[in-house]
Structure 1
Amino acid sequence: MKVTFLGAAQTVTGSCYYFECEGKKFLIDCGMFQGGHAEDELNFEVFPFNPSEIDFMILSHAHIDHSGRIPKLYKDGFRGIIYTTDATVDLCSIMLPDSAHIQESDVEWKNKKRKREGREELKPLYTIDDAYACLDLFSGVKYEEVIEIDSNLRFVLKDAGHMLGSAIVELYITENEKEYKLVFSGDLGNRNVPILKDPSTIDGCDYLFIESTYGDRLHEDVENKSKRLIRIICDTISNGGKVIIPSFAVGRTQEILYEIAKVLTTGSDEAKLIQSVEIFVDSPLATSASGVYKKHIDYFDEEAAEFIKKGIYPLEPKNLKFVRTADESKMLNDYEGSCIIISSSGMCEAGRIKHHLKHNLWKKNNTILFVGYQAPNTLGRKLLDGQKKVKIFGEEIEVKAKIEYIEAYSGHADKNGLIKWIDSMKNKPQQVFIVHGEKESQVEFAQELKRNFDFDVHIPARGEFYVIGPEQIVTKDRLFSESPSFVNLSILAQIEDIEDDLNRLKEHIKSASVSPERLNAINSNLEELRYLISLALNDY
């Protein structure tokens, strides 16, 4: 069998693995690259296979970095079955059209400028029609259900504990009358997280493909994450500020609401303080996702199920308001007094959160609270890295608000969590492929696995393929050349931004409307450009 790594290889996003086995061609995941201009460009690349020849796909879960290019795959000719859990089917039915809406809106905005400049108009990665059409290919599967593709290939999905409906994939292959087993961790969740059950244990496998998002670190203060969340919220409210939480609409938003709702049942002073302000979930997607959660309470853990037995739905605090329309969202810009605003996207690259940051970053009483991973080059990562000024919608915004990060709310297991999960296997693999992580994290995690288990460890690059079989002999080659590094692509993207600034500056100068402040901002960008050029010249 040949497996080719097309995404989430020495990077975190774009999960996609292509298999050629016993006359079948199939995929596990077909995700979108996320992080910035450089990653966006990778989404438009032609698939290095004929989509119409793909027999089927197994989808580990609904997050867009795992599912987001399925509409493009459909658009390019794929018509096979997409096997995934029932909850993932329902989540994708709202998340993929939402992603398509973002694709269309972004291109529409860019094309307004391109029309004025007489440049060729862009096309979206896919349309809303593509997103709805591909949903007909989805087929719901239960955890532990054996799906037999043919006599040589079957698979089982198990609970990954990462988000509602997330799955570990156990793949059974027969070649030359010998059977061997591959396990794909998908995104592996933490133990003892709100709402979700713990990740399933696996008996063992011959080949393990494991994520490594946090393979080089431990989550800090996991036991006190709920207390810290409530303390940050209460401190900000006491100071008359707003708490702005950039959050993934599906998964993390529901976790945060659960933590708040749980505190409100205690009647404590903290509960009374939080009860005195309004909580806004400003995300149409999160609003729709809450309906999916209500439909699938059988996925909930024991603690959440107990609340439901008592007649308390633990994902909707009494002072919660769902913000549905754009006009309602805009009204929050002028909202007086303290409140809690939870809005997507979680990495601050798109959606309504950018408007909330624009109107609240420069106010020192406010708190921007991150509760999830921030990919390199994203606005969220820039804020976490301490950048004092950021550009939002072309405007320089000074960062005066307090920036907080509770890493323990990550939906990914940390280094110890990953190792404990592997250690629980009775039959350990000898061949391990480390995926879905930044290169530095993967290298350290590989060393840790070597020390603990003496595994034969591989860190595939995007475009590499491996030939594997029952005898656990692995050969490696390359299907296509690597693209320029994300760092270099990021530099190119920043240079493009500066070029746009320069073009706007020319127009301002022509009309004599440029301000001293704007000139300073442009000069700052020019200095950055000089620095980036010097870095590039030194690299080459």
Structure 2
Amino acid sequence: MKLSFHGADQEVTGSCHLVECGGTRILIDCGMYQGGREVNEDNNGPLGFDPSTIDYLLLTHAHLDHCGRIPLLVRRGFKGEIITTAATRELAKLVMLDAAHLQEEEAEWKARKKARHGNGKKDKDTKPLYSVLDALNSLDYFGRNASYGKAIPLGGGVRATFLDAGHILGSACIFLELEEQGRTKTVLFSGDLGYSDRAILNDPTPPPEADIVIMETTYGDRLHKSLHPSIEELYEAINDTFRRGGNVVIPTFAMERAQEILYYLREGMESRALPPSTQVFLDSPMAISATEIFRRHPECYNEEACELFTNGFDPFGFQGLHFTRQTSDSMALNRVGGGAVILAGSGMCTGGRVRHHIKHNLWRHESSMVFVGYAANGTLARRIVDGATEIRLFGEDIPVRAAVYTIGGFSAHADQNELLAWHKQTGNPGRTFLVHGEEDAMTAFGELLENTEVIMPTLGQEFEL
């Protein structure tokens, strides 16, 4: 039995881990690196294993940093079975096709730019990581749907059980039961963990005891703001911006965060905490599609959200909500001087339509930027959050004059206390591997763990189980 690490090792993105048991090779996630320019080389580099030898890919959830390299994996020879929950299956399709489309667009733009200023020859920088066709081909390898709490037999004496992680729709922790030559081991992957008492989704399922735990540490060194004050802060930011005559731009992750913010905006208008006539634009084709997928999977909802749906009420809809799928509709928002709440992706401002809204609003004293999610090092969102006075975007230097709000209570990740409580429920695992976190966060969290050997693996490191 072996465990090796091939992504999100002492960093936050690119999750990818490999388990070997009884001749069966099982990959847990195959995510994309996100952040600065150097991540393009990381994504396009060697995976650290031969994809053709992988029997199963178990996907914890559909965020890009967990599923984004699946089309590349298939193009490089993967012929196994991808197993995940029904909701994740739908969302992953959406995410991978969107990523492929954006990569093709960016590659085409780089090629045109190179042709104008260079010799016109194509190179790695002007080729997409994978194409829309690659993404479509990868869908053929999605096999069985996992149901929470029901063990799935794999080859070579391995069983996998998916448990609700409460992070985004369909997200899961994965519990592996391994047997090889009379030896048994249990291995628990946290995936990304949500936290308790949120709108829409169930709380994370308490984990089983395990011999070995691999867990995320995104917020391992900090606590979130409480949810209720965060909602009040969101309402205050919007009302204050409207009084100044500007727009509110909210960089939004398309899955879960967008839907959660819509949920609270609706509540704010119903309670008159926000003007009932507030105009909200969901300017993200992927978020719009994800919202439709949310409506199809109430099995992932908590009791309150389920009751709304049962009574025929749409928790994501209200009179002032506008879906802007078409590019022309998105561009028209640039002419809106004030009074609009604009939700657009990507959440870390690394791509997507939000960058255009930043260009048209960041330099305006009247407008506001409201960050409601995690911003990794090297991303445009992180630079703005950290207090940059000027950014460069689309070849222009743009001064930061808008009000900048960072509201941590909406995070889809568990904070330090929630992570500690989750780990405590796993019993006294012999080893705990910390992944999916920046080094400072992992170190701080690791120092709080007791009765377990704490390991922070590096890329490519392999361990005997």
Runs of 4+ displaced beyond 4 Å: none
> Which residue in 1 is equivalent to 2:142?
138
> Which residue in 2 is equivalent to 1:467?
464
Question: Is the Cα–Cα contact under 8 Å of residues 18 and 28 in structure 2 kept in the other structure?
Answer: yes
Which AA in structure 2 matches 1:255?
A: E
Deviation at 1:12, TM superposition (A): 0.3
Deviation at 1:151, TM superposition (A): 5.5
> Which residue in 1 is equivalent to 2:132?
128
Q: CA RMSD in A?
A: 1.2
* Helix, strand or coil at the partner of 2:356: helix
- Give yes or no for the alignment of 1:153 onto 2:158: yes
> Which residue in 2 is equivalent to 1:180?
185
> Which residue in 1 is equivalent to 2:245?
240
> Which residue in 1 is equivalent to 2:44?
44
* Helix, strand or coil at the partner of 2:447: helix
> Which residue in 2 is equivalent to 1:519?
none
What does residue range 486-501 of structure 1 map to in structure 2 within 5 Å? none
What does residue range 90-129 of structure 1 map to in structure 2 within 5 Å? 90-116=90-116, 117-121=118-122, 122-129=126-133
Which whole-Å CA distance do the structure 1 matches of 2:52 and 2:238 have between them?
A: 50
> Which residue in 2 is equivalent to 1:253?
258
Gaps of 5+ in 2: none
What does residue range 203-352 of structure 1 map to in structure 2 within 5 Å? 203-266=208-271, 268=272, 270-271=273-274, 273=275, 275-352=276-353
Which whole-Å CA distance do the structure 2 matches of 1:439 and 1:6 have between them?
A: 16
Q: Which shifted more, 307-316 or 67-76? A: 307-316
Which whole-Å CA distance do the structure 2 matches of 1:127 and 1:26 have between them?
A: 25
> Which residue in 1 is equivalent to 2:359?
358
Larger radius of gyration between Structure 1 and Structure 2: 1
> Which residue in 1 is equivalent to 2:393?
392
* Helix, strand or coil at the partner of 1:448: coil
Per-residue CA shift, 1:213-270, capped at 9, x if unaligned? 000111123342212211211221222111100011111100100111122333x3x2
Which whole-Å CA distance do the structure 2 matches of 1:181 and 1:317 have between them?
A: 47
Which whole-Å CA distance do the structure 1 matches of 2:222 and 2:340 have between them?
A: 33
Deviation at 1:170, TM superposition (A): 0.3
Question: Is the Cα–Cα contact under 8 Å of residues 23 and 156 in structure 2 kept in the other structure?
Answer: no
* Helix, strand or coil at the partner of 2:161: strand
Which whole-Å CA distance do the structure 2 matches of 1:235 and 1:314 have between them?
A: 25
> Which residue in 1 is equivalent to 2:372?
371
Which whole-Å CA distance do the structure 2 matches of 1:318 and 1:165 have between them?
A: 28
Q: Which shifted more, 333-342 or 359-368? A: 333-342
> Which residue in 2 is equivalent to 1:473?
none
What does residue range 442-457 of structure 1 map to in structure 2 within 5 Å? 442-449=442-449, 453-457=450-454
Q: Which shifted more, 221-230 or 151-160? A: 221-230
Deviation at 1:79, TM superposition (A): 1.6
TM-score normalised to the size of structure 1? 0.84
Which whole-Å CA distance do the structure 2 matches of 1:144 and 1:317 have between them?
A: 35
Which whole-Å CA distance do the structure 2 matches of 1:58 and 1:454 have between them?
A: 29
Which whole-Å CA distance do the structure 1 matches of 2:298 and 2:227 have between them?
A: 25
Of 189, 194, 201 in structure 2, the residue corresponding to residue 189 of structure 1 is 194
Which whole-Å CA distance do the structure 2 matches of 1:259 and 1:203 have between them?
A: 33
Deviation at 1:106, TM superposition (A): 0.9
Which whole-Å CA distance do the structure 1 matches of 2:227 and 2:87 have between them?
A: 27
Q: How many residues align?
A: 460
Which whole-Å CA distance do the structure 2 matches of 1:176 and 1:75 have between them?
A: 34
* Helix, strand or coil at the partner of 1:307: helix
> Which residue in 2 is equivalent to 1:499?
none
Q: Which structure would you say has the larger RCO, counting Cα contacts within 8 Å and 6 or more residues apart?
A: 2
Which AA in structure 2 matches 1:159?
A: D
Deviation at 1:118, TM superposition (A): 0.6
* Helix, strand or coil at the partner of 2:363: coil
Which whole-Å CA distance do the structure 1 matches of 2:93 and 2:47 have between them?
A: 23
Higher helix share: 1
* Helix, strand or coil at the partner of 1:224: helix
* Helix, strand or coil at the partner of 2:234: helix
Question: Is the Cα–Cα contact under 8 Å of residues 24 and 156 in structure 2 kept in the other structure?
Answer: no
Question: Is the Cα–Cα contact under 8 Å of residues 428 and 451 in structure 2 kept in the other structure?
Answer: no
TM-score normalised to the size of structure 2? 0.97
Which AA in structure 2 matches 1:50?
A: D
> Which residue in 1 is equivalent to 2:16?
16
